């Protein structure tokens, strides 16, 4: 009897940013394996992990991982799961919205999709030289400086849902490797 396996890409929020939230790649891999994942790979130390798992429901997979990570680290690790196909779409959307932009580009990956009111409220928070596009569960930010942007994880979470962000290079690299 074979069990169907689903490929997931998980993005972990707020790890390895300070002394109290360390989560090395090997510990992430071990926690994913303990949670039933196989063929686990990570990319850089910011919480990007690809794996196979029998669970096919996104919210259920996120809950399983969050429980495993909390048990391993003793702190909450919000986790956003997407499929390789979703990652490819997000990377393609990023290329489209960023065409011709010469500044920095970031993608916030969200647990949930937004409604039009939330999208409008978030866009209204952008600074003068910033552009924000919300497509599906991704918020695309075009800015001159991420350190001076008005669109932060806290702002995205206030208007849409739990999120974590990656720069465009990471999104492109992961899409090339994993989708």
Contacts of 54 (CB under 8 A, 6+ apart): 3, 4, 5, 6, 36
For the chain, list the strands marked E by DSSP: 6-12, 38-42, 48-53, 79-82, 104-110, 131-135, 138-143, 163-167
Q: Which of 151, 113, 115 is nearest to 132 (CA)?
A: 151
* Spatial distance between the Cα atoms of 77 and 129, rounded to a whole number of angstroms: 32
User: pLDDT at position 110, please?
Assistant: 97
Which residue in the block uniquely carries the two structure tokens 């994993």?
Answer: 178
**Per-residue confidence band for 169, with pLDDT thresholds at 50, 70 and 90:** very high
Q: Give the pLDDT mean for 38-67.
A: 96
| Cα distance between the two ends of the chain | 27
Is residue 21 scored above 90 in pLDDT?
A: no
The full set of domains in the chain, from first to last, is 6-82 (3.30.70.1280), 84-178 (no CATH)
Strand-pair category, 48-53 with 6-12: antiparallel
Q: Output the average pLDDT for the chain.
A: 94
**Per-residue confidence band for 145, with pLDDT thresholds at 50, 70 and 90:** confident
Contacts of 63 (CB under 8 A, 6+ apart): none
Q: Give the pLDDT mean for 3-19.
A: 89
Neighbours of 24 (CB within 10 A): 12
Q: Give the pLDDT mean for 131-141.
A: 96
User: pLDDT at position 1, please?
Assistant: 54
Is residue 127 scored above 60 in pLDDT?
A: yes
Q: Give the pLDDT mean for 28-51.
A: 96
């Amino acid at each position: 009897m074979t069990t169907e396996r689903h490929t997931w890409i998980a993005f972990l929020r707020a790890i390895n940013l300070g002394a109290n939230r360390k989560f090395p790649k090997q510990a992430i891999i071990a926690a994913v394996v303990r949670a039933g994942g196989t063929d686990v790979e990570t990319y850089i130390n910011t919480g990007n992990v690809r794996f196979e798992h029998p669970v096919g429901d996104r919210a259920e997979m996120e809950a399983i991982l969050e429980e495993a990570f909390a048990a391993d680290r003793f702190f909450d690790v919000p986790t956003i799961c997407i499929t390789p196909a979703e990652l490819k779409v997000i990377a393609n959307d990023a290329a489209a919205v960023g065409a011709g932009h010469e500044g920095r580009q970031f993608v916030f990956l969200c647990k949930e999709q937004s409604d039009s009111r939330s999208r409008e409220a978030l866009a209204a928070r952008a600074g003068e030289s910033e552009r924000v596009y919300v497509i599906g569960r991704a918020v695309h930010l075009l800015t001159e400086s991420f350190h001076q942007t008005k669109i932060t994880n806290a702002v995205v979470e206030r208007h849409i849902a739990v999120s974590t962000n990656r720069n465009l290079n990471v999104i492109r690299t992961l899409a090339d490797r994993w989708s």
